[in-house]
Structure 1
């Protein structure tokens, strides 16, 4: 690993830690709480006066809608899959499995952070719940919303797109993050900082060591060689 890459990793770690502690250390989370509260009430108040917004938030937070985010990520992955050789597709399968293992592992590590708080819809009194307003069983609350699981998974996908595919793929993946992570904030199931601080800080620290060192390549290459099926590389 080059000195430049090590410095980049350390910089990303520093950014992640600064981001987290800027939220964690101030009493009442400082200005972050004002941002969180403002975003929550902006959407919560308008949902009772805007039917289109109410139903948009309801539909995008219905459990089945999570499948749409998987389709979006799968569609981007399919774009590259169709252009690959059989050997390249085998490697993409190895990358995909590595991505899944990474997402599960980093999510578990993220929940070791000694922070636990309820979502805005459970924290603030007398708020509007989308499930009550529409009758649709949406995910509009959480007993422990930090860090945001859904947002973290999406950000990890974007990181893999940048590491193993292209900057254009990364740009599309960032758009996917914004489109599918924000509904959780709009409905009040997550604070804005659950994603912008919690998910992002964990990813900045964890993914820099995983993707910018040979670590992820070792797992991808091992899976490429040992997965069952055709087109195994010659030993």
Structure 2
């Protein structure tokens, strides 16, 4: 199977130093805004207001709370991951027959970069004591979905709290996916990708598993760095090309409707 990827998808296995430096600068400035006392005060205020708005809405109606409880279980995460992969692999939605597996392996390469950076960033977080608990564990009067829906908490691993909520790992994966597909989408498809990314980030925020800054600071920093090292260096392209060579015998045997 030959790849007919557009120039944007075929990342050229080259270093893109200006973009690499800009992404690192943006990540550094974002972190500085969170560490700077005045900026931290604004982030803390935004965190509390967002939490009270989102988590407080769970008291509006049992059906509303039930919806967010269902979207906060691990099974829903698997369904969301399946949808994310489907939008990459669906023929001629964003990528043609010859492009879609290249796109899939490129995205997996980006996820690999994200995983490596997450491990390194976690050490930095621990070293400088930036870690904190979820708002559901720190704010009195929080509405806990695990208490409202104990069956889901017991049997389906409902996520509404964590003692280590920074950074937002779940959000960083979603934002990396959204940023990657946004390179190729236009018009309604771009709007759909952005809205889907935002929607899939909301359950953890509504349930109180993460502060808003866990996502908009920690998650965005990881996304920027993963995009920098995955897409602005040879890493993702070399990974995708290697995987395509290995998978080519299997891909050639796939039925035409796949």
For the pair 1:224 / 2:241, whether they are aligned, the reply is: no
For the pair 1:113 / 2:110, whether they are aligned, the reply is: no
Q: Tell me if structure 1 keeps the 8 A contact 2:55–2:205.
A: no
TM-score by length of 2: 0.76
Q: How does 1:4-23 map to 2 (within 5 A)?
A: 6-23=17-34
Give the number of the structure with larger relative contact order, counting CA–CA contacts within 8 Å between residues 6 or more apart: 2
**What is the CA-CA distance between 1:173 and the residue it aligns to?**
3.1
Say how many residue pairs are matched: 227
What is the alpha-carbon root mean square deviation over aligned residues?
Answer: 2.7
TM-score by length of 1: 0.82
Q: Distance in 2 between matches of 1:12 and 1:90?
A: 26
Where structure 2 has 5 or more consecutive residues not aligned to the other structure, the ranges are 1-11, 253-258
The one of 147, 154, 179 aligned to 1:132: 147
**What is the CA-CA distance between 1:147 and the residue it aligns to?**
0.6
Q: Distance in 2 between matches of 1:225 and 1:42?
A: 50
**What is the CA-CA distance between 1:64 and the residue it aligns to?**
1.3
Secondary structure, counterpart of 2:241 in structure 1: helix
The one of 64, 76, 80 aligned to 1:53: 64
The one of 189, 192, 200 aligned to 2:220: 200
Q: Tell me if structure 2 keeps the 8 A contact 1:155–1:177.
A: yes
CA separation of 1:104/1:173 partners in 2, compared to 1, >3 Å: closer, same or farther?
farther
Where structure 1 has 5 or more consecutive residues not aligned to the other structure, the ranges are none
**What is the CA-CA distance between 1:105 and the residue it aligns to?**
2.4
Equivalent residue, structure 2, for 1:214? 234
Equivalent residue, structure 1, for 2:209? 189
1:152-189 deviations in whole A, cap 9, x for unaligned?
111121233245x4456655432222011111011100
Q: Distance in 2 between matches of 1:161 and 1:43?
A: 27
Q: Distance in 1 between matches of 2:40 and 2:234?
A: 36
The one of 14, 35, 50 aligned to 2:46: 35
CA separation of 1:128/1:16 partners in 2, compared to 1, >3 Å: closer, same or farther?
same
Secondary structure, counterpart of 1:113 in structure 2: helix
